Structure 1
């Protein structure tokens, strides 16, 4: 099939897990013989002089990467306007630069590309598949208090209702999307994120070097890695650290990643008096991260909201014992007592007990880690996921252009049950 994927991130422009997802899916589909074009963008803040629109083939995928428009727009300050401008640039590039190539399907990844994906599907008369990777309401626990949040939510609703097929990455996300966007959950396809396990194994000497560097005192090492955002719950892990250290003296917490919650976490380590027991490592190259994952006693993922949790797959691929909340898709990956230890999101005492159980019985933790790694090939293999995606493409029929009303947004919590 000829597939046009539309995504606001694609390597080397990677903001979170979405960029890695689209890259893995696109390259796997191309390897299976499909003709894949990815419509994406250059880094934010660039322009047509520094980063002109480019059209190149990489790993079997044709990547059409658009330049930003001349208007002085910034994503952090003018998010909706910036997103609209990006969409306009994508539409112009797709209609003027792909020549006689015509897709059999348009695949949109998240609300930021709703406008160009819908426009192109309408103009070309082809089916529109939309993967909803996360929701604005989910990130804010059902509250859409700001004007921007309401705008994002309504755009998500538009994309989900215009799409001929909606895809989510977990059963929990399917239920969330159905509830938020007034959809029947039955037709929503669930296709997990995947991982290639081989790249996460590193030589023992590098693991030993990482252990010596970050835990020279010999005490237990805990690691969180990923984006530093409120919904990731890292502040809950910091709050649990004093309890953990009382039971397991010398325990240190390593935090790898960047994000908007840096100030929140700085305040948390001071409030809980654990500043000397927490190291903020910033962004780590993949090779360094892989060595650290193999060196720590546990990877802790305390998310309050998590549509899927690809970092859990990466930790499992490296063989690290997992402690994770049961938020969203993490519950699909970390089966309590089987492939890791889980706890209710936001429950600090339960988090501390879960970490303590791993540190108290390293042999059991290693057995669970082996089980988690074994599951990767059976349930989270990109070849299977790409084949499932191709099946979705094949059975999706074009519904044609639609004019939809604005969704009604409750003044209270949009979930109604929280």
Structure 2
């Protein structure tokens, strides 16, 4: 394929404002495409424009009294920056990520546009429809983006079905393109006992790790309830909960007198150390369009117990490279006990997961799939 000029619009990135899994997904895709194409990344941040690993990052500083106003302001600033670099050779493809930049998509809808759904507001709200105005505004933007984009992608078949049902995106218009991973970023040579001691945990104690937003969608409350059963069956089992969110105070109340350690927000370096020191990663989500934590755990060769939902359900072969359970405290406890009972099984699950990462979730082939979607825009 001849060299293309590609614009990526995303409200977060690895090198400025970062919120969650969208940052590594969009940033690594941009870096993959930049190996053979000219890539410009329009995002927000309070730093000067810069070029990293072949990608030109263009920043803006939006303002707003709420998230919807803020993202509309961001979209307008993104378009202004975009037009500065659209002179001369025009951009071949414009790739938007999630709802945040839909106002920019609206302004530029006559171009070759692609919108990637990484999740939906319905899913983030715990698979139910909200009455608050922000839910309606954001859901409306998700619907409108799917309507006007020339092509749509979703990070899993489950999410594709969700956007088809919620927003009536036709099947022919939507491609499934999963997220990828850079495995070496999640591997570290550490002394597991030393890492455990730093959190007040004995080196021989089985360590269970949860990382993510402390929000209903992610199911941390189910995990705390499950831990009550696990603690009765394995008195030495310990749980570290890493992340922040609205549920934190309630979760801490529920976990009183339990072997649960709330680490709060942790930087990437601390996360990688914990990931490599733990004995089991648990992903108890009620809704999970993809589940990037799964790939991170597999990259570190860790066994995983996960809810049988969304992308987790699609990507895990149960009892081969992970354990899938129905979302609920009882099922989670059963899955966790099964793995803790047989530590050698956790090791085997993690090693098979690592092999699957190499087969399926490398960024090179995934970048190729995105390029195939781009080619369908102009077809």
Taking structure 2 as the reference length, what is the TM-score of the superposition? 0.94
* Aligned-residue CA RMSD (Å): 1.7
C-alpha contact 1:219 1:249 (8 A) present in aligned 2: no
Per-residue deviation at 1:211?
Answer: 2.9
Offset, 1:282: 1.8
**How far did residue 321 of structure 1 move?**
1.0
- Asked whether 1:105 is paired with 2:109, we answer no
Q: Aligned match of 1:128 in 113, 118, 123?
A: 113
Aligned pairs for 1:18-57 (under 5 A) are: 18-31=22-35, 33-42=36-45, 51=46, 54-57=48-51
Matched, 1:392 2:378: no
Q: CA deviation at 1:242?
A: 1.1
1:168 aligns with 2:149: no
CA distance in 2, matches of 1:22, 1:200: 18
1:153 match: secondary structure: helix
Deviation of 1:101 after TM superposition, in Å, equals 4.1
* Residue equivalent to 2:19: 15
| Alignment length (residue pairs) | 373
1:254-333, aligned counterparts within 5 Å? 254-270=240-256, 273-274=257-258, 277-333=259-315
Picking from 225, 235, 240, the partner of 1:239 is 225
Indicate conservation of the 8 Å contact 2:109/2:148, yes or no: no
**Would you say 1:379 and 2:367 are equivalent positions?**
no
| 2-structure distance, mates of 1:201, 1:258 | 24
SS in 2 for 1:306: coil
- Aligned equivalents of 1:295, 1:56: Cα separation in 2: 35
8 Å CA contact retained: 1:127, 1:164: yes
Over 3 Å counting, the alpha-carbon distance change for 1:217 and 1:22 in structure 2 is closer
Q: What is the CA–CA distance in structure 2 between the aligned matches of 1:369 and 1:15, rounded to whole Å?
A: 27
> How far does the alpha carbon of each residue in 1:147-203 deviate from its partner, in whole angstroms, 9 at most, with x for none?
110111111000011111110001111111110011223441111111111222222
Q: Which residue of 2 aligns with 1:47?
A: none
Moved more, 384-393 or 250-259: 250-259
Matches within 5 A, 1:343-354: 343-345=325-327, 347-354=328-335
Q: CA deviation at 1:79?
A: 1.6
Distance 1:131 1:146 in 2: 25
Q: 1:7 to 1:217 in 2, by over 3 A?
A: closer
Q: Gapped runs of 5+ residues in structure 2?
A: none
Partner Cα separation in structure 2 for residue 333 and residue 244 of structure 1: 26
| One of 129, 132, 137 as aligned partner of 1:143 | 129
Tell me whether 1:92 sits opposite 2:80 in the alignment: yes
Counterparts of 2:269 and 2:275, CA distance in 1: 10
Encode CA deviations 1:243-262: one digit per residue, 9 max, x unaligned. Answer: 10111112111011222322
Deviation of residue 281 (structure 1)?
A: 1.0
- Where structure 1 has 5 or more consecutive residues not aligned to the other structure, the ranges are 43-50, 399-418
Post-superposition CA distance 1:246-302 (Å, at most 9, x none): 1111211101122232223223324xx52xx11111222323222221221211110
* Cα distance, 1:82 vs structure 2: 1.4
Offset of 1:97 from its aligned partner?
Answer: 5.2
CA separation of 1:217/1:294 partners in 2, compared to 1, >3 Å: closer, same or farther?
Answer: closer
More deviation in 159-168 or 259-268? Answer: 259-268
- For residue 340 of structure 2, what is the aligned residue in structure 1? 359
Contact in 1 for aligned 2:302/2:349 (Cα 8 Å): no
In the aligned structure 1, how far is the partner of 2:232 from the partner of 2:255?
Answer: 16
- What stretches of structure 1 move > 3 A for 4+ residues in a row? 96-99
